[in-house]
Amino acid sequence: MNAKANFPGGINHAQTAPAFLSVWDLQSYYGESYIVQGISFNVHEGEILALLGRNGAGKTTTLRSIARMDDPQVQHGEIWLDHQPLHNMASHEAAIAGIGLVPEDRSIIPGLTVEENLQLAQIAPPIGWSLERIYDLFPRLAERRKQEGITLSGGEQQMLALARALARDIKVLLLDEPYEGLAPVIVDEIEKTLRIIKEQGITTIIVEQNAVRALELSDRAVILDTGNIVFDGTASEVLENEKLRSEYLAI
Ligand SMILES: Nc1ncnc2c1ncn2[C@@H]1O[C@H](COP(=O)(O)OP(=O)(O)OP(=O)(O)O)[C@@H](O)[C@H]1O
Ligand SMILES: [Mg+2]
């Protein structure tokens, strides 16, 4: 039996309980540059997975590949979400299937208020959380609903980016460095919010330079090194493994 036959999201998935999100032999390129070099991992429903590794390891590229962004080009591999193949979809189709990517730059739309940024996310179905529910979770955004989104503080912009993802009906939240540039007290606040989002049943992949903070939040971890997986296990295993921490995470 070849390895592929065992892949839960792949050919024989009728025989095995498929993982909620399965990435199989993903290979991604920017032009000729071979970046993600054939990685396979599973994410279980409702869990938080930390995707870690040094600068340039391929973390952002992996998230962008799962979200089916045009850049990078994914040349090979399968991505399955809740029995649905994503690997032939365009990014807008992956979004409809339930992928919510919060990019590193947060991509708040200039010229629009907080509320207009949220309304824009709800312009087409499938619509997710109501504005009321969003403002309940993010009271700071409720207070600033008429303020232009790009004038928010860094932490508030991160909250708006998260809120905008929830305004669509997502199954998986992909977070690229959500704590970047934020004071520890704001990181605490975002972390609390991510725990509440988890309680609502949403599955999350978090990419973070602040590996300890990400691991404390996460159930499991995958560590990348030059586009290959060097560890796949529980978050506490990484926290307890000094060799792994110093070799791949510099912590
Ligand atoms: N648009 C692009 N064109 C060409 N090469 C790219 C492009 N984006 C990223 N790369 C290269 O791909 C590799 C992986 O980049 P990626 O952004 O996925 O790393 P990362 O793990 O997210 O790093 P960081 O922690 O610094 O954000 C790097 O060598 C990077 O230079
Ligand atoms: Mg990155």
Q: What is the pLDDT of residues 109-160, one digit of tens each?
A: 999 999 999 999 999 899 999 999 999 999 999 999 999 999 999 999 999 9
Report phi then psi at 31, rounded to 5.
Answer: 60, -120
3-state secondary structure of 245: helix
For 162-195, what is each residue's pLDDT tens digit?
A: 999 999 999 999 999 999 999 999 999 999 999 9
d(CA 107, ligand 1 centre) in Å: 18
Q: Give the whole-angstrom CA distance, residue 227 versus residue 168.
A: 30
- Residue 13: its pLDDT value, please? 44
Return the structure tokens found at 81: 């979400």
In order of 26, 38, 101, 145, the CA distances from 227 in angstroms are 10, 8, 20, 40
Q: Closest residue (by CA) to atom 12 of ligand 1?
A: 35
- Residue 16: its pLDDT value, please? 53
CA-closest candidate to residue 94, choices 105, 76, 79, 72: 79
> Are 222 and 229 contacting, i.e. CB atoms less than 8 angstroms apart?
yes
Return the structure tokens found at 194: 């991510």
Ligand 1 atom with least separation from CA of 63: 18
Residues with CB under 6 A from ligand 1: 30, 33, 35, 53, 55-61, 71
For 40-92, what is each residue's pLDDT tens digit?
A: 999 999 999 999 999 999 999 999 999 999 999 999 999 999 999 999 999 99
Report phi then psi at 228, rounded to 5.
Answer: -125, 150
Q: Closest residue (by CA) to atom 2 of ligand 1?
A: 30
Q: Closest residue (by CA) to atom 29 of ligand 1?
A: 56
- Kindly state the DSSP code that residue 109 receives in the 8-state scheme: P
Ligand 1 atom with least separation from CA of 53: 21
Q: Give the whole-angstrom CA distance, residue 3 versus residue 73.
A: 24
250: confidence class by pLDDT, cuts 50, 70, 90: confident
> Are 123 and 104 contacting, i.e. CB atoms less than 8 angstroms apart?
no
Q: Closest residue (by CA) to atom 7 of ligand 1?
A: 30
* Ligand number, closest to the Cα atom of 32: 1
In the numeric block, the tokens 């095995």 are attached to 16
**Among 15-19, 25-29, 168-172, where is mean pLDDT lowest?**
15-19
d(CA 154, ligand 2 centre) in Å: 18
Q: Give the whole-angstrom CA distance, residue 154 versus residue 230.
A: 33
CB atoms inside a 10 Å sphere around CB 249: 20
In the numeric block, the tokens 């029995």 are attached to 83
> Are 58 and 207 contacting, i.e. CB atoms less than 8 angstroms apart?
no
For the stretch 177-181, contacts whose Cβ atoms lie closer than 8 Å and that sit 24 or more positions apart, written own/partner, are: 177/104, 177/207, 177/208, 177/209, 178/102, 178/206, 178/208, 179/208, 179/209, 179/210, 179/213, 179/214, 180/104, 180/209, 181/154
